[in-house]
Structure 1
């Protein structure tokens, strides 16, 4: 893989850490702004909602801009939003910060994946996606627990500033190593929209959104579940989050190796494993050993499915910036809907394990969507012959 592919992963690492860090800072942010834990969970939904709506719009506006310039501009916008969050004095300002960073993050994901796949070549799409999206996994392995630890020792504002510094570093490295290139050829709003008129593509999008929604219905509320249901000390939470992140890195690496050849079996197994694991976690969350096992399995078969999801999308509609950004938006819609739906149960007075059951529902729907797509392809095969 070209060095620039790994550098793009560094940028996604910083942005992913920013998106997910709220889940590890929930108690501190709730106390700072005088709101409920569920309200802080909605900050994750706001970030994701901004990615869903603003990311594709911003990508369209940058279609004719050289991709390196786009990456640098998006990094700058993200940095502004992150700094705004670090100085936020009330919930409204923090909400605005999450919207700005969400818009920039979504567009960055789409452009970064397109650049990485172009440099790696079509025969290594799955592996290139795995490397770039590895930044997402490392964000959970290192970024999320690191910001949680920084919060415990120096406060949540220090966590936000730390991510801002990493974002600045990523921008400087992108400036140095990503090839400049010329203006993109064949890029226009008409051609990008034409690529979206594809039923197989939207079927792939649906599975992606439901799978990620399943994971984040649970993941968004890991910290309170660990402390108040499983009985872990708050100081152990960063360790558990690091274990989860390490499992996602392992899963992402393995799946990235095999996604180009075994994409559909991998996705089917992953969704089925999510149904079983989330159900067991919900039933036995009071058991610390069960919690640890569930955290590991969810890391292995959760967001680590991203290389297989991305491969399916690119097979359906090639690797175009808008296609990738819309895929990112759909995934973020799943993140937002999952964390929002999980919060509804808590707000309604149900137990802290209710988000886990919400995750089960999302996973069942995702598995059904995948099986329906496979059945449709099988029924069309004789006609194609």
Structure 2
């Protein structure tokens, strides 16, 4: 695996830490700006919304630049946004900083994954994505606690500056390490956008959104479920969340190894396991041992399906930056919908375990969204050369793996 792939993973780690760090700085930010905790929560929402809406737009603007130039530009924009956050003197200034960093982050994810795919080729795309996306997993395990710890000892501005310095370091390494490539002047923005006019691609996007939505319907409410239903002491919950985070790191590595050659089976088995874990958690949340077991299983098969999701998107669409950035936006939409849906069922009076049941239902929908492709592959592999001539080499390989 090229070293540059790991450097892109470092950038993903930095930006993931920035995305979630506000949740660990809420009291300090609320006091600094004289706003409510809920208002600080909107800073997280603004980041996610900026990723969803602004990331693809910025990516389109960088399509005619080289991958190296695009990555360095996005790192520069992100650094400026992060520095603006560290220097913020008011809530409005901080909100602007979050929007800037959110837009740059989404575009970096898309361009970064496209760069990884180009460096390793089709047969190792899933493994390369798992390395890059590993930065996201490690960001939730180490980045968020580290940012919170820095804030407690040196103030919240130090947390913002720490991420800014880490992103700047990533840029310097990319500047030195990533080989320069000519600007793709032949790239047609219209053709890149036209690649999105693909019903099958949007069906694949839908599966990704359902997987992430199912996971975050549960993840967003782990803390109250573990304390108020499972009966764990508040000081124990951080350790359980670390265990969950470590499970995501392990699961991501395993899926990355399998994603290229067994894309559909990985997604199908993962969704079955995710559904089972959510049902067990919901039905037996009051049994601590089963609750912890379900929690770890969700970590192993939830967001860790990202490499397989990305491999499937690139197989059905292409490995271009815009297709990957839109995929990142779709995943972020899944996070928002899952969290919002979980809160909705709790507010409706269905109890704290309701988000788990909701997540299980969404995971079933994700599994159903795979069935047409699984059935098509099964029929195709059984019909010999006629089917083989009607599909691309990569699609035939995927079908053979699925069968």
- TM-score, normalised to structure 2, is 0.85
Cα RMSD after superposing both structures? 2.7
**CA–CA separation in structure 2 for the residues paired with 1:284 and 1:186:** 57
The residue number in structure 2 matching 1:110 is 110
The residue number in structure 1 matching 2:297 is 297
Unpaired runs of at least 5, structure 1: none
Q: Give yes or no for the alignment of 1:384 onto 2:387.
A: yes
The residue number in structure 1 matching 2:280 is 280
Q: Alignment length, in residue pairs? A: 384
Structure showing greater Rg: 2
Give the stretch that moved more between structures: 318-327 or 71-80.
Answer: 71-80
The residue number in structure 2 matching 1:47 is 47
The 3 A distance-change label for structure 1 pair 36 and 235 is same
**CA–CA separation in structure 2 for the residues paired with 1:232 and 1:194:** 51
**CA–CA separation in structure 2 for the residues paired with 1:91 and 1:273:** 42
The residue number in structure 1 matching 2:59 is 59
The alignment partner of 1:268 has SS state of helix
Aligned pairs (5 A) from 1:198-347 = 198-347=198-347
Q: Give yes or no for the alignment of 1:372 onto 2:372.
A: yes
The residue number in structure 1 matching 2:125 is 125
The 3 A distance-change label for structure 1 pair 216 and 154 is farther
**CA–CA separation in structure 2 for the residues paired with 1:159 and 1:233:** 28
- Deviation digits for residues 147-182 of structure 1, max 9, x if unmatched? 344455555544333322322222222222122211
Unpaired runs of at least 5, structure 2: 389-403
**CA–CA separation in structure 1 for the residues paired with 2:268 and 2:253:** 18
The alignment partner of 1:183 has SS state of coil
**CA–CA separation in structure 1 for the residues paired with 2:231 and 2:289:** 11
- Deviation digits for residues 287-332 of structure 1, max 9, x if unmatched? 4333322221111101110111111111112211111111111111
Contact 1:149 1:238 in 2 (8 A): no
**CA–CA separation in structure 2 for the residues paired with 1:88 and 1:233:** 36
Contact 1:126 1:311 in 2 (8 A): yes
Contact 1:252 1:304 in 2 (8 A): yes
**CA–CA separation in structure 2 for the residues paired with 1:350 and 1:164:** 42
**CA–CA separation in structure 1 for the residues paired with 2:78 and 2:175:** 16
Give the stretch that moved more between structures: 259-268 or 80-89.
Answer: 80-89
**CA–CA separation in structure 1 for the residues paired with 2:144 and 2:353:** 22
- TM-score, normalised to structure 1, is 0.89
**CA–CA separation in structure 2 for the residues paired with 1:328 and 1:185:** 25
Q: CA deviation at 1:355?
A: 2.9
The structure, 1 or 2, with the larger RCO (C-alpha pairs under 8 Å, 6+ apart) is 1
Contact 1:45 1:339 in 2 (8 A): no
**CA–CA separation in structure 2 for the residues paired with 1:201 and 1:355:** 28
Q: CA deviation at 1:375?
A: 2.8
**CA–CA separation in structure 2 for the residues paired with 1:87 and 1:44:** 18
